[in-house]
Structure 1
Amino acid sequence: MASTIILQPLSSFTFTTKEAQPEEDPSVAARLQRLQNNYEDFGMRRTVEGVLVVHEHGHPHVLMLQIANAFFKLPGDYLRPGEDETEGIKERLDARLAPVASDPASFGPAGPMGGAGGDWEVGDCLAQWWRPAFETFMYPYIPAHITKPKECKRLYLINMPPTKILAVPKNMKLLAVPLFELYDNSQRYGPQLAAIPHLLSRYNFVYA
């Protein structure tokens, strides 16, 4: 039986900006090299990303970050060795999208507003993707000949209170991408993001 999830309207959230967050690596090659260096020291990398779903015009939309007007990604990042996944993804979401404590937008008449940060509700793990080698390709399974994958990325469904304040780094855009735009559109979004409509098909959505 499909689970039911209540989606909040996009208009119920408050959006603001904060200081830019430059990418850690200047190029894809540099990112893969750092992955290899870290693998030699710590073993397989664990990455967590959040799938934040809202509704607009009677249709589910996924919140995604766009970098350099071209590259799309879900909010999240890699974990430290031994770090708990649930607490880790909350921390990564705060780092990426929570307003800074000194931001006036995060304060109400009685002090900090409840939706400022740290109140992410981590739901189901929707998928895990595996990187078998120090290359860009990731798969939703471990290839048969691979015994030591280099990275495991898990996607978690994230619920947010309707009063949530989202602060977007100035060098990024936060876009609400409809499921019909993602579906079967790996050419634009890549296979991981294009698979999200399939992953969400197990749920019945109720629009608040």
Structure 2
Amino acid sequence: MAIMNNTTTTELLNSDDGHPLSGYYLGSKPSADAALKDETVADRTMRLKSNYDARGMRISVQAVMLVELFKHPHVLLLQSKNCVYNLPGGRLRPNESDVDGLKRKLLRKLSADDDNNQTNWEVSECIGSWWKSDFETLPYPYAPNAPKECTKLYLVKLPLNRDFIVPKNFKLLAVPLCQLHENRKTYGSIIAEIPQLLSRFSINMVSTST
């Protein structure tokens, strides 16, 4: 991802200012979730069922973070080695709030291991929720009877400078909104809906020369 070589970014939530992408740095750290790297679909389903029996409904929180590349808004995605795309985030712990859980996951996925909570992730509003009635169906934007999973998307505002330190078994990519739009085959139904979710916001792109 070549986000360090660009000089513009986007600011969300009707703000008039933007931040230069030259202030962002991309580094790497040891791989995450190594024990799950060879997990099959069947193994994952069995693991989720076991976790549901022990903990109840699985609640995940994910971050939508925008940057500007080539004069077009892009979303930051993590790509695993099996070419699966995900928004940064993950499952909440029991009794953990959405905001605290998302900050914890962003520190784990996008910050240095020795960060010691120095990075302050600015979590904004929830823009959408998806639900699953079991562990194999596609998610729906409404709650079914006895849901097994819930995934919530939150806007996360990027600061002027930020170091992204990503596990080596992931790539951090900036994907344009136009490429995500209704592209469920590649990115999944949740990520493909992000352009529509953002359509109610005013996204201001402010260029800053280096």
Which residue of 2 is the match for residue 183 of structure 1? Answer: 181
Deviation at 1:24, TM superposition (A): 5.2
SS in 2 for 1:21: coil
Deviation at 1:49, TM superposition (A): 0.6
Deviation at 1:43, TM superposition (A): 1.0
1:163 to 161, 164, 177: 161
Where do 4+ consecutive residues of structure 1 move more than 3 Å?
Answer: 5-11, 22-25
Which residue of 1 is the match for residue 3 of structure 2? Answer: none
Q: Which whole-Å deviations, capped at 9, do the CAs of 1:6-58 have from their partners, x for residues lacking one? A: 55344331111111113553122222211111111111111001111111121
Deviation at 1:100, TM superposition (A): 2.5
1:141 to 1:7, Cα distance in 2 relative to 1, 3 A: farther
Which residue of 2 is the match for residue 75 of structure 1? Answer: 88
C-alpha distance in 2, partners of 1:185/1:179? 10
TM-score, normalised to structure 2's length? 0.84
Counterpart code for 2:52: Y
Q: Is the 8 A contact 1:133 1:149 kept in 2?
A: yes
C-alpha distance in 2, partners of 1:142/1:100? 36
Q: Is the 8 A contact 1:8 1:207 kept in 2?
A: no
TM-score, normalised to structure 1's length? 0.85
C-alpha distance in 1, partners of 2:185/2:18? 28
Which residue of 2 is the match for residue 89 of structure 1? Answer: 102
SS in 1 for 2:156: strand
Q: Is the 8 A contact 1:7 1:55 kept in 2?
A: no
Gaps of 5+ in 1: 107-111
Q: Name the % identity.
A: 41
C-alpha distance in 2, partners of 1:19/1:68? 14
Which residue of 2 is the match for residue 149 of structure 1? Answer: 147
Does residue 73 of structure 2 align to residue 60 of structure 1? yes
1:57 to 1:132, Cα distance in 2 relative to 1, 3 A: same
C-alpha distance in 1, partners of 2:193/2:158? 22
1:136 to 1:68, Cα distance in 2 relative to 1, 3 A: farther
**How many residues end up aligned between the 2 structures?**
192
Which residue of 2 is the match for residue 109 of structure 1? Answer: none
1:90 to 1:3, Cα distance in 2 relative to 1, 3 A: closer
C-alpha distance in 2, partners of 1:35/1:7? 40
Gaps of 5+ in 2: 1-11
